[in-house]
Chains A and B, each alone.
Chain A
Amino acid sequence: AAGVIQSPRHLIKEKRETATLKCYPIPRHDTVYWYQQGPGQDPQFLISFYEKMQSDKGSIPDRFSAQQFSDYHSELNMSSLELGDSALYFCASSFEQGAWYGYTFGSGTRLTVV
């Protein structure tokens, strides 16, 4: 079965650079969520989209932005990167209309800022 696809798997950037993370949800899933997970931490919710519209916003820094496109894939744009942005970034998708089967997570993008 198709899963949530994230790219790239690994990314190394220097301070003050920008990064773009991509997420391709499970087909027919209408909601995408972005999470940030620091070392030894639980996943922290950043932002979500339902039917291509932002639906919820969590602890996402102003330097970050995200959008969901017409094909339902989503991109997380990160600017002016800081060392503290180094983390594992997860995307998850779900189907919110009708019966609800939980969240499916991607394998994540490991971002290292040097």
Chain B
Amino acid sequence: KQEVTQIPAALSVPEGENLVLNCSFTDSAIYNLQWFRQDPGKGLTSLLLIQSSQREQTSGRLNASLDKSSGRSTLYIAASQPGDSATYLCAVRPASGGSYIPTFGRGTSLIVHP
């Protein structure tokens, strides 16, 4: 059974810092990995989607990398801002087993203070 772990569970940083959020998964047979942002009590907003054949994806100040063989993905946030405060979740979609339901990590709760 796929297990997804996100480290750290919580992070509090001053504005302007560059951040790295980690996501690790136990089964490397994945179809893709998706990073989401969730504001308190709100829905999940897709940030970046990395297909299994890709190594990284970039969107603005966000860069996500994928090392499928080692079961790791990182989300890099450059020049963090208070508006980046949210919970960041990664979700892994399996490539085999007949099911394509993604497995979520528990998320990293990020606070960026001015």
Q: Which residues of A line the B interface, CB within 8 A?
A: 33, 41-43, 45, 48, 56, 58, 88, 90, 92, 96, 100-108, 110
Contact of A104 among B41, B46, B89, B101 (CB under 8 A): B46
Contact B102 A103 (CB under 8 A): yes
Task: Tell me the bound Cα distance from A106 to B43 in angstroms.
Answer: 6
Q: Sorted from nearest, which 6 A-B pairs have the closest CB atoms? A: A107-B43, A105-B44, A102-B49, A42-B104, A42-B106, A105-B43
Q: For residue B4, which residue of chain A has the nearest CB?
A: A42
Most chain B beta-carbon neighbours within 10 Å: one of A56, A101, A102, A107? A102
Contact of A108 among B43, B46, B49 (CB under 8 A): B43
Contacts of B44 in A (CB 8 A): 43, 90, 92, 105
Contact B89 A42 (CB under 8 A): yes
CB within 8 Å of A: which B26-45 residues: 31-32, 34, 36, 41-45
Contact of B100 among A42, A96, A104, A105 (CB under 8 A): A96
